[in-house]
């Protein structure tokens, strides 16, 4: 059923946000049309790659997905 069973996503963590942070995320969800989970996953992974100095890899992956 799945091409790669290692890529099946499961719940990993939860985050706590204050009211302003929640409103910011909700506004970004409305603006982009992405689901909240997808948006937050992308933001977390992008920040992690940039912190590790591999931010260019993330940008090239997004460009490939857009094609």
Domain extents in the chain: 35-67
Say yes or no to pLDDT of 64 above 70.
no
DSSP for 2-37 reads -S-GGG-----------HHHHHHHHHHHHHH---HH
pLDDT reported for residue 6? 87
Assigned token pair, 53: 């100095």
Assigned token pair, 56: 């260019």
What digits encode the pLDDT tens for the residues 4-59? Answer: 888 898 999 999 999 999 999 999 999 999 999 999 999 999 999 999 998 777 66
Say yes or no to pLDDT of 67 above 90.
no
């Amino acid at each position: 059923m799945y091409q790669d069973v290692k890529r099946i996503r499961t719940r990993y963590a939860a985050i706590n946000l204050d009211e302003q942070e929640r409103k910011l995320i909700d506004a970004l969800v409305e603006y982009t049309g992405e689901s909240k989970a997808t948006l937050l996953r992308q933001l977390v992974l992008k920040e992690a790659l940039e912190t590790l100095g591999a931010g260019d890899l993330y940008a090239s992956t997004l460009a490939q997905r857009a094609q």
